[in-house]
Amino acid sequence: MTKAKKLRSAAALLWVAAILILLGAAAPAAHAQDKIGGHIGFVIPWVTHSGDQTTSIADNFAIGFPIGITFKGKGRMNLDLEMVPSVSGHPREVTLTVDPGLVWSLDHGVGVGLRAAFDVNSSRFGFIPLVNKSWKFKNQDGFFKSYFVEADLPVKFNRPTGGPSTNSVTFATHFGLGF
């Protein structure tokens, strides 16, 4: 797949997600929706260590736009299905990570979780431990119910066929709105 096709695919995905979010905002609230939620936002990878090299956002600017659907279980456990289209500067590329996971709600709007991470059309996979803190909006009548900040620590393993294996660890922050 060429870079142009990847860019068009990512743009189409973002348009579909935006349309779905707008349609969801227009839908009336129902009690059944109390068990399904989601989030949108942006994530910034601040520093990455891979092999013997450490790079920061100053070396290569990158930003991701997570979109997630959350199924709230009984008790404190939630299943969160997230996709993160990302854009990086050098080399310029658009990627998509699918990272389903479990998030446990603790007290005072704090959550901890663990996601599996799969980079689409890539030999990279891994896991992402996370800690987040959310704050509810005073007016709960709107579409968005909360805002949050999350600290992520993606650990990824790159295992290309016939190529060298590498491992990376990144520190990232995710800011967003919950619905």
Task: Say how many domains are in the chain.
Answer: 1
142 is in which domain, residue-wise? 3-178
Residue 175, token pair as written in the block: 């800011």
Mean pLDDT for 49-76 is 93
pTM of the model: 0.78
CATH number reported for the structural domain that contains residue 164 in this entry:
2.40.160
Residue positions counted in the chain: 179
Burial 6-24, CB ≥16 within 10 A → b, else e: beebbeebeeeeeeeeeee
Mean pLDDT for 41-51 is 96
Residue 163, token pair as written in the block: 């190529």
Mean pLDDT for 60-80 is 94
pLDDT in tens, 133-178: 999 999 999 999 999 999 999 999 999 998 889 999 999 999 999 9
